[in-house]
Amino acid sequence: MPSPRSSRERRSGSSGSLSSSNRLEFLSLVSQRSPGAPDSPARRKESGSGSAASPLPEEDCMKLNPSFLGIALSSLLAIDLWTSKRLGVCAGEGSAWGSARPLMKVIEVSGHGIPWLLGTFYGLCQSQSSAAREVLLNLLFALLLDLVLVAVVKGLVRRPRPPHNQMDMFATISVDKYSFPSGHATRAALVCRFVLHHLVLAAPLRVLVVLWALLVGVSRVMLGRHNVTDVLSGLLLGYLLYSVVEHCWLSPLSTPALFALWSH
């Protein structure tokens, strides 16, 4: 007959082995699950929470959730390109208004920088009035400042010209292959504001000067040289550039040596 002590030992040993086996079985379910075994609910919950907590890459977030500003700019760019193409009616001989292309090119030359620079320089050399020399010298300064500013902005932005443009412009330089802003529009707005402020003109002539500036800007789009935003930005830039010229106005008091040079 077994003794009570041995019976107790057997019971404690069996219970210990049972608890040990239960603990081992519990560990095997959590940390030693075979690859082919199905996921437990707890593991699926942990994996689900882990995947939800991990952030998406930044570029994916930008693609999935674009900003309102980006959508608005993309829409405006698309409208600008579509409108510019529709308005380029003189872009080629076979365009809708191809017969008016020579006239548009004459207007293009009227807003070119070289005729304005040469004409202003010639008038400055031939002028006998100190007041006329002051005005012409500042006009020359404004034209040079316009050329530098437009060249710098074009070189920084590097926006290509419209695809329907024909590169047959008069006297171009390297930066003229870029489109933004329109140098003709900038110059037209600058000269228009300068002439209206410093030349005494009758009302019909003042109206003609304004119409000329607007027509130069419109011709740039009709010829396919620029997009609509290039011309509008050029007109605004030229309008603001005149304020800079007025602020830096050259006078016999501020630059006496320069006026002494032109007076001889």
pLDDT at 122: 93
Range of weakest confidence among 65-74, 122-131, 175-184, 222-231: 65-74
Q: Could you tell me which of 222, 221, 234, 229 has the C-alpha nearest to residue 187? A: 234
Give exposure, 225-257, as e/b (b: 16+ Cβ within 10 Å). bbbbbbbbbbbebbeebbeebeeeeeeeeeeee
CATH number of this structure's domain 83-263: 1.20.144
> pLDDT value at position 28?
42
pTM for this predicted structure: 0.72
Report the SS3 class of residue 96. Answer: coil
Share the mean pLDDT of the chain. Answer: 80
Residues belonging to the active site: 184, 226
pLDDT over 70 at 160, yes or no: yes
Q: How far apart are CA 181 and CA 241, in angstroms?
A: 13
Q: Which pLDDT score, from 0 to 100, does residue 242 have?
A: 96
- The confidence band for 196, taking pLDDT boundaries of 50, 70 and 90, is very high
